[in-house]
């Protein structure tokens, strides 16, 4: 049985995913707006045929478009629940455990959560073991992120994996190689897949980058190479 926390969080994620679509259609009010104030809508005799909705002591006229939005959110939440159940079954874990992890991703939009749940099923990566997670880019967009643990798992479980080699630049920037290159070999390919990552392009400002810049640069090269070599 899902916890009350899980049920209360899911509609918020569905609202985030649909808000942009609805704004393009000229619908400015979301379910959260309706809960906060009474909105004047056309009378019941108008062609919009609003639906009367009561929240506590207040009465709100809900338009046809807003009713459709609420229904769409319900459908999206239902899809997430189904994908979550499939992902939990794929990992052989209790659905409640995976639901609890998802509920902790408060800021992540529903679209990214849906993508992660489907990638769990296709790649068999476990978020509770930190093999797959989310990352937010500078533009504010959230994306699914396969960690170094996930990349290592994908490589070592792949039947065609035949080793890898790292190469680094002789030139240094603040004592760190200007670039690190990763080459992944496969038994079914005549040449390796090679990716070079440059420090100037991927260097982060967080503590881990300041403490272990060479390791982090090597990780970036490996992650991008795995992405191309075994999709």
pLDDT tens column, 60-110:
556 777 777 777 777 888 889 999 999 999 999 999 999 999 999 989 998
Does 25 map to a domain? yes
Does 140 map to a domain? no
15 shares its domain with 102: yes
- Mean of per-residue pLDDT scores for the chain: 80
pLDDT band at residue 52, thresholds of 50, 70 and 90?
A: very low
Range of the domain at 153: 149-229
Does 130 map to a domain? no
Place of tokens 């994996």: 161
* CA torsion through residues 161, 214, 116, 97, sign: positive
Residue 184: partners with Cβ closer than 8 Å, 6 or more residues away:
155, 161, 163, 164, 192, 193, 194, 225, 226, 229, 230
76 shares its domain with 160: no
Please give the Cα distance from 52 to 189 (Å, whole number): 64
pLDDT band at residue 112, thresholds of 50, 70 and 90?
A: very high
84 shares its domain with 175: no
Burial class (CB in 10 A: 0-12, 13-18, 19+), 39: middle
Per-residue pLDDT, averaged over 208-224, amounts to 96
Task: Give the containing element (helix H, strand E) for 195.
Answer: strand 193-198
Q: Do 113 and 80 contact (CB within 8 A), yes or no? A: yes
Is pLDDT of 123 > 90? Answer: yes
Q: What is the pLDDT of residues 17-28, one digit of tens each?
A: 444 444 544 544
Domain count of the chain?
2
Is pLDDT of 207 > 80? Answer: yes
């Amino acid at each position: 049985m899902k916890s009350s926390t899980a049920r209360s969080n899911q509609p918020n994620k569905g609202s985030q995913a649909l808000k942009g679509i609805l704004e393009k259609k000229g619908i400015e009010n979301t379910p959260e707006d309706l809960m906060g104030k009474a909105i004047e809508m056309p009378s019941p005799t108008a062609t919009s045929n609003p639906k009367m909705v009561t929240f506590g002591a207040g009465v709100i006229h809900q338009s046809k478009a807003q009713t459709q939005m609420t229904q769409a959110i319900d459908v999206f939440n239902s899809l997430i629940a189904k994908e979550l159940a499939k992902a939990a079954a794929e990992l052989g874990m209790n659905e409640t455990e995976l639901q609890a992890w998802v509920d902790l991703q408060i800021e992540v939009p529903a679209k990214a959560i849906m993508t992660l749940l489907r990638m769990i099923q296709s790649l068999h990566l476990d978020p509770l073991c930190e093999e797959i997670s989310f990352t937010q880019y500078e533009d504010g967009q959230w994306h699914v992120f396969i960690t170094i643990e996930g990349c290592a798992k994908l490589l070592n479980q792949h039947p065609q994996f035949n080793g890898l080699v790292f190469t680094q630049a002789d030139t240094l920037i603040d004592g760190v190689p200007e670039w690190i290159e990763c080459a992944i070999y496969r038994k079914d390919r005549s040449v390796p897949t090679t990716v070079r990552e440059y420090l100037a392009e991927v260097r982060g400002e967080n503590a881990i980058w300041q403490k272990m810049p060479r390791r982090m640069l090597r990780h970036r090269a490996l992650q991008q190479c795995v992405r191309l070599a075994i999709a």
